Structure 1
């Protein structure tokens, strides 16, 4: 399964042809875009915005969140069981991500969530577009409107999400998020239910095991929403903070097996998210340092209106499962989550987030990719995606080590250092040289650069 990225067995002929086109060595003009691409059994037209790549498409059927014994599934289950513990005042609906397409519209991913028109997340450099009307979801929030419209007042949703990103031990273009939300009617009955929720959550969480540093304020930079009753919003915020504090206590004390001698330190900080206000980031002091864990806030009324949910207030949070799993288990490289090596997967078969035991460290093989640019610059994410298409998960990291402008002709040269290292076996020099030759060839084809 390792080596050069190959399309999955179920991949269509069109997919394979596209992959071969991308990887083909050519001395002619940059590779042309196919008129259409096949994704999960559907065929979609391409246009000038198309930047989704074969290596990304190959990840779509993987669904790590649904594999029992996988760290992502274990963490997902721990969080779901915490929010649906016996006797909880409300039940959190946990729909399967399999019933939601990873292909969403810009309206779903951005507009319905109040993203400004110039938000960087909309750019081709940050997101994977199938065409101008369709992209891979960049966050679980892309399904918020659908989930609120389903009629469930409380829900937890986990899925794979996609963002163009650098290559190193903590970044991967595919990762998994969990989003949770709870809404309450603004009438007398709804507010009574909210107060009951607060009292239950406070009772269920042993406050002496927590040390809370709350730096949050309501001001012009993190305001109440205009149509909201501040007293009701304060109750929603109290419910949110108690719920998240209880979750963090569960994960970083119980699941991590940390000594109960000292309280868990949690810090709340004001933040900005387009789809909530007031908004917060939450940090935990763990293993001697503050770690950012999740973002949360009061749901924008505009989002609820898009879902045709009226006269309700609510909170929502979102967290990255890989990040938390790496912290709790000491997994050193995010690529390991995609490994099918028994030595990795067997460590978590009991259903517990046990500490990862390294089974080997294979030697690295560094290769430099230097080229003259055809214009002022080249986007680094274009280089990273290109490397992934050729080498898949055999690349540990890629970094820019030189940026040079020739004093006479003013041509600009970049040099990227690529660290080839498998997580499961030693790579031969011949294998790495073959891959690196393809990287250089594809750089000429796709980027139009001149290899030095």
Structure 2
């Protein structure tokens, strides 16, 4: 086993050893992993790093005067305007445990076993059965099962992804569900039904629901689907007008999600280009039946708070959301929720860019090497001073047929100037870790 350089810091060593556990048969397998104060049994799926675990319980969406919290409050206030019998229709759950089971995150939402979103390269797994939630929809079935009908789920979600100014392994979502019984859906038309005649609400499991019709699920009547679709779209258009102004242009784009049908994405025309805001649709009836309610129809949607906050406040880099710099945070202090705030850079620090090239071992090729695994190692060593990682070049040697990859790593600190010397030290640490974890040869 190759010795690691002593200059690596403790958290960096843990990251490298975690990767060694996955890529080197010589590394001793972990037996347990501690996440959020609880010990879990580790296995071949364990890929959560100490760096990612350090973001747990940050609750930026609840932090006073934080831009994510301002947007969250505006969305919650909007949905509180929908009232029934004098009370707000939507309840809010913004402190749910981010550690969920694969059943919650995938199975309960009809996400197939071979779906790409289940891949180890896409999620932070604690073990084969547990992970950090990849979307707030992971809590949908448990809340429905508890008897809730209309609710917002707000919190941090975790996905392994590329590194640039708009992507970060942790971001925040608002997801929602609204479900209605026949009496609420058709208050003045008692002859209309939610379900087709052949659907038996007393024995729902005997009905095979299909989504072959692009207009609706086979169990639903067209009238019920269209009324629910109209409510959904009106509610969401009202929300984006509340956030971006009553004159904002919008359009609906047909989409596919495993847990809704039909499904749409909402885009707005913002700063001379179309920007996707959210995904939504009519909840698959199987999800409702499995969670308990078998005689309702529901809509659901999900949106990212970072995307909205960055657009509303002109925040250029998603890493700023995690900054404790007073120059950033004070720009959002004691502001009216509807105030038009434009982020002003405190100062501009220069970038430092270093390239990293390496030859792949014979068992890997430029097409099978997992970029997200590389990004995760770089993030684990470089931390938040890594602004961007880009695949710069792929190369196959014409004679030896060896495969090579070249990445550009952009370093920039948000609160001070980095020296090239310290960047070179970190870059060297990354080189050593990459060579050890992936069995590559640095060029």
If the length of structure 1 is used for normalisation, what is the TM-score?
Answer: 0.84
After TM superposition, give the deviation of residue 174 of structure 1 in Å: 0.7
Q: CA deviation at 1:358?
A: 1.0
Name the residue aligned to 2:60: 64
- Alpha-carbon distance, 1:22 to partner: 5.4
Determine the C-alpha separation between the residues in 1 that align with 2:381 and 2:13: 15
* 1:331 equivalent in structure 2: 315
Number of residue pairs matched by the alignment: 406
Q: Name the CA shift for 1:96/1:193 in 2 (closer, same or farther; >3 Å).
A: farther
1:292 aligns with 2:284: no
Is residue 80–residue 94 contact of structure 1 (8 Å, CA) maintained in 2?
no
Secondary structure at the residue paired with 2:223? helix
CA RMSD of aligned residues (A): 2.5
Secondary structure of the structure 1 residue equivalent to 2:236: helix
Which runs of 5 or more structure 2 residues have no equivalent in the other structure? 1-6, 191-210
Q: Against the structure 1 CA distance between its residues 126 and 275, is the aligned structure 2 distance closer, same or farther, given a 3 Å change threshold?
A: same
2:405 to 398, 404, 414: 414
Structure 1 distance, partners of 2:173, 2:188, is 28
TM-aligned CA deviation for residue 110 of structure 1 = 0.9
1:302 aligns with 2:286: yes
Residue equivalent to 1:447:
438
- Deviation string for 1:89-108 (max 9, x for gaps)? 7624444432x221211111
1:403 to 389, 394, 398: 394
CA 1:95–1:85 in 2, change beyond 3 Å: closer, same or farther? Answer: closer
**What runs of 5+ residues in structure 1 fail to find an aligned partner?**
8-14, 196-218, 254-259
Q: What is the aligned partner in structure 2 of residue 116 from structure 1? A: 112
Three-state SS of the structure 2 residue aligned to 1:440 is helix
Q: 1:194 to 1:327 in 2, by over 3 A?
A: farther
1:85 pairs, out of 73, 81, 84, with: 81
Corresponding residue of 2:364: 376
Counterparts in 2 of 1:115 and 1:87: CA distance versus 1, 3 Å: closer
User: Alpha carbons of 1:21 and 1:285: their partners in 2 closer, same or farther (altered >3 Å)?
Assistant: same
Q: Does the C-alpha gap of structure 1 residues 434 and 239 become closer, same or farther in structure 2, counting only changes over 3 Å?
A: same
SS at 1:152 equivalent: coil
Question: Which residue is equivalent to 2:200?
Answer: none
Instruction: Give TM-score, length-normalised by structure 2.
Output: 0.86
2:243 partner SS? helix
1:169 is matched with which residue?
A: 165
Counterpart selection for 2:258 from 263, 269, 274: 274
Residues 22, 442 of structure 1: 8 Å contact kept: no
Higher relative contact order (CA 8 A, sep 6+): 1
SS in 1 for 2:161: coil
Cα distance between partner residues in 2 of 1:401 and 1:268: 35
Instruction: Give the superposition deviation at 1:264.
Output: 2.2
**CA distance in structure 2 between the partners assigned to 1:321 and 1:409 by the alignment:** 49
